[in-house]
A and B are shown apart, each in its own frame.
Chain A
Amino acid sequence: MTQGHGQPAASPPRVDAVWDAGDLACGDLILQLRGRMEAMRPGHVLRLVALDAGAPEDLPAWCRLTGHTLLAADHPVYLIRRKEH
């Protein structure tokens, strides 16, 4: 698993949960994403599909704000690792 130190990943990170958010956007997407991340264990990875056109800007911003780690972003697919605490 990528450890977030700029090292190239030897293999794709293990995915612990998946969520297809469909067309959810803005506050709706963020609030539901928050709930799903809080329900996960620290260090676990969510594979999120978010179709909204704002997601490529919004999801990295949300990760920077909250401390979760955006492991990969290839719109509309995002891998987010839950923060440790």
Chain B
Amino acid sequence: MANKFCVSLTHSKDNTDKATVAFVVANAAVGSGKETMVFLSVEGVRLAQKGVADGIHEEGFAPLRELLDNFTKAGGTIYVCSPCFKKRKLDEHNLVAGATIVGGAKLVEFLSDGSPCVSY
């Protein structure tokens, strides 16, 4: 069984339901002892900017800010799609803790050990 787990998220404020559930699942993975990485791409990269998750609170779930903070404090990592980030002219000096801008090779390397990946 692979000890890694990937959650791929392509949404932020455009679909707060998916963004929230993605981090709930990521927290379940990291809480289960998995080396867990959330891959933010497409609109999801906006969540890598400080402040964007603030105010997102889906009914029945913890606030996204809290979910994200808990994830990184538990040792989870966040990869941010470089071309998606650049396309949206976001600020690489304003990243949330635990976020790293990467290209495809870094994602491929992470998944190459047989890591499962769930997508939102």
Contacts and interface: CB of A to CB of B under 8 A. Distances in A.
| A-B interaction | yes
Q: Give the interface size bracket for B toward A.
A: 10 to 19
Contact of B85 (A28, A53, A61, A62): A53
Question: Binding site of A, secondary structure by majority: helix, strand, loop or mixed?
Answer: helix
Contacts of A59: 105
A61 B86 contact: no
A29 interface: yes
B4 to A, nearest CB: 14
A52 B87 CA distance: 12
B104 A27 contact: yes
B92 interface: yes
Contact of A58 (B85, B106, B112): B106
Interface in B58-111: 79, 81-83, 85-86, 92, 100-106, 108-109
Interface of B: 79, 81-83, 85-86, 92, 100-106, 108-109, 112
